[in-house]
């Protein structure tokens, strides 16, 4: 990564694209984990990438570019969440028309049904669990140092928190599926 | 997976494991797969990120290394964070950027579209360029170093201030969201 950062600093377009490709989904996941809609998550992404580009020549630890990107995405996500709360409180018009979450209609019925069940159980988690699990779901999977930066959480507590959050998710899944009968799922 | 014949197959052939048989790790894998499939970054987000160095430099005719970076030293939104319970009555946000020779005081009005008022301190004539990811607009400040621009779309912005006084070096603010 440090070599890519060095190359991107010198104007190597391919190196820049490789850095972006590595962290594009992580930045998106961090924003989405903060319950931001598509439009706001796109804004967080854009700001984060512009910041990184601007800061490339000044990054003191180029090998930690992933953590830097994750920290920036977290701060931007928090900032935009606060701004949205304020706009709602002051009845200002929203910046982005809210878009319904995309559930593919083309998916086979059973798979789509279970997708809805999983997203619904995920949606019932506490905000800290959502932020952590969504960041961990990024593709490619982030390092714990990057997750730590994405959450503002010590590396040591990621594992235990992850386990607790997944247990809660399983409990929600069982709850949600029970009343409808397992056969339907 | 075949346990007691309760697994079902979708038309696509994917095996559906009963919820209670999913281990913690299997649950996570299923969720991660779901995120990859149904919530990836949209193509335009990827495209904008990939094209950042080339196009932003082209659009703004600017390379970050050439200008002094004015860093954010005050942001009224950070204040709100510190005093979460204090409700702000104004619908504007104030930011201060500091460079070695000058300050840029910025006020963003949070309506839609955004309005931006800027004051160069110490007051002096300058050309101020408002850069967004889509392009830039430039305007000369009045004699008091103030500058006003309306109808900006919400999104990332950076200001570049080129003092017209002799010896004044251009300064660019870091990107911030409006």
pLDDT bucket at A105, cuts 50 / 70 / 90: very low
| Cα four-point dihedral sign A25, B52, A81, B78 | positive
- Establish if B109 belongs to a structural domain: yes
| Per-residue pLDDT tens digits for A59-97 | 889 999 999 999 999 999 998 888 888 777 766 665 565
pLDDT class of A179 with cuts at 50, 70, 90: low
Cβ atoms A165, A159 nearer than 8 A: no
Taking alpha carbons only, the member of B54, B155, B145, B18 closest to residue A177 is B18
Nearest by CB to residue B177, choosing from A43, A110, A117, is A43
Quick one: which of B32, B29, B37 has its CA closest to A101? B37
Range of the domain at B72: 55-177
ipTM of the complex: 0.84
User: Please, is A179 exposed, middle or buried when counting C-beta atoms within 10 Å of its C-beta (0-12, 13-18, 19+)?
Assistant: exposed
For residue B101, the domain's CATH number is 2.60.40
Residue A11 has what pLDDT? 81
**Residue B125 CB contacts under 8 Å (≥ 6 apart), including other chains:** B140, B141, B142, B143, B145, B163, B164, B165
- The pLDDT confidence band at residue A4, using thresholds 50, 70 and 90, is very high
B14 assigned to some structural domain: no
| B47 contact A CB<8A | no
Euclidean distance between CA atoms B155 and A42, whole angstroms: 9
- The 3-state secondary structure of chain B reads CCHHHCCEECCCCCEECCHHHCCHHHHHHHHHHHHHHHCCCCHHHHHHHHCHHHHHHHHHCCCHHHCEEEEEEEEHHHHHHHCCCCCCCCCEEEEEEECCCCEEEEEEECCCCEEEEEEEECCCCEEEEEEECCEEEEEECCCCCEEEEEEECCCEEEEEEEECCCCCCCEEECCEEC
Residue pLDDT, tens place only, A20-74: 999 999 999 999 999 998 888 998 998 899 889 888 888 889 999 999 999 999 9
In a domain, B133, yes or no: yes
Q: Choose from A54, A93, A174 for mutation: most chain B CBs within 10 A.
A: A54
Does residue B141 belong to any structural domain of this protein? yes
Weakly modelled stretches of chain B, pLDDT under 70: 1-15, 52-66, 79-90
State the pLDDT at residue A13. Answer: 85
Query: Does the distance separating the beta carbons of B38 and A80 come in below 8 Å?
Result: no
Contact in structure between B44 and B148 (CB atoms under 8 Å) = no
pLDDT of res. A184: 47
pLDDT at A109: 62
User: Which chain B residue's Cα is nearest to A53?
Assistant: B53
HSE-up (13 A, CA, CB side) for residue A157: 9
Out of A13, A16, A174, the one facing B20 most closely (by C-beta) is: A174
Residues of B whose CB is below 8 A from A32: 39
In a domain, B96, yes or no: yes
Confidence at residue B60, expressed as pLDDT on a 0 to 100 scale? 47
Task: Tell me, yes or no, whether B81 lies in a domain.
Answer: yes
User: pLDDT, tens digit, for every residue of B137-151?
Assistant: 888 888 888 888 888
Residue B142 counted as domain residue:
yes
User: What are the residue boundaries of the structural domains of chain A, listed by start?
Assistant: 2-184
Between CA B67 and CA B173 the distance in angstroms is 9
Specify the number of domains making up chain B. Answer: 1
**What three-state secondary structure class fits A101?**
coil
Chain B residue numbers with beta carbons less than 8 Å from the beta carbon of A95 are 112, 154
Question: Which residue, A117, A109, A161, A122, is CA-closest to B19?
Answer: A117
Which of B12, B28, B52 lies closest to A50 in CB terms? B52
All residues of chain B having their beta carbon less than 8 Å from the beta carbon of residue A28 are 39-41, 45
Tens digit of pLDDT for each residue in A106-143?
455 666 788 888 999 999 999 999 999 999 999 999 99
């Amino acid at each position: 990564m440090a070599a890519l950062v060095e190359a991107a600093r010198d104007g190597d377009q391919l190196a820049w694209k490789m850095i972006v490709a590595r962290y594009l989904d992580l930045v998106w996941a961090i924003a989405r984990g903060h319950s931001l809609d598509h439009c706001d998550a796109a804004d967080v992404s854009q700001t984060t990438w512009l910041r990184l580009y601007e800061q490339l020549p000044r990054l003191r630890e180029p090998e930690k570019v992933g953590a830097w990107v994750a920290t920036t995405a977290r701060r931007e996500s928090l900032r935009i969440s606060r701004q949205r709360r304020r706009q709602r409180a002051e009845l200002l018009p929203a910046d982005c028309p809210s878009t319904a979450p995309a559930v593919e209609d083309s998916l086979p019925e059973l798979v789509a049904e279970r997708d809805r069940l999983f997203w619904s159980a995920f949606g019932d988690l506490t905000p800290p669990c959502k932020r952590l699990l969504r960041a961990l779901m990024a593709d490619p999977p982030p390092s714990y140092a990057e997750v730590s930066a994405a959450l503002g959480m010590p590396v040591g507590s990621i594992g235990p928190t992850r386990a607790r959050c997944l247990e809660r998710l399983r409990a929600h899944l069982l709850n949600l599926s029970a009343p409808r009968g397992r056969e339907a799922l | 997976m075949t346990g007691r014949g309760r697994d079902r197959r979708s038309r696509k052939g994917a095996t559906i494991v009963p919820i209670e048989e999913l281990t913690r790790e299997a649950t996570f894998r299923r969720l991660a797969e779901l995120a990859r499939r149904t919530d990836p970054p949209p193509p335009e987000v990827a495209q904008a990120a990939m094209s950042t160095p080339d196009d932003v430099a082209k659009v703004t005719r600017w390379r970050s290394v050439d200008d002094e970076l004015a860093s954010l030293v005050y942001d009224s939104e950070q204040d709100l964070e510190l005093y979460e319970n204090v409700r702000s009555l104004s619908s504007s946000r104030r930011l201060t950027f500091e460079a070695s020779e000058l300050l840029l005081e910025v006020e963003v009005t949070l309506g839609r579209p955004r309005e931006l008022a800027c004051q160069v301190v110490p007051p002096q004539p300058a050309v101020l360029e408002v850069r967004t990811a889509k392009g830039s607009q430039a305007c000369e400040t009045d004699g008091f170093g103030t500058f006003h621009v309306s109808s900006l779309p919400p999104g990332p912005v950076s200001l570049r201030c080129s003092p017209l006084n002799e010896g004044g070096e251009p300064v660019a603010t870091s990107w911030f969201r409006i």
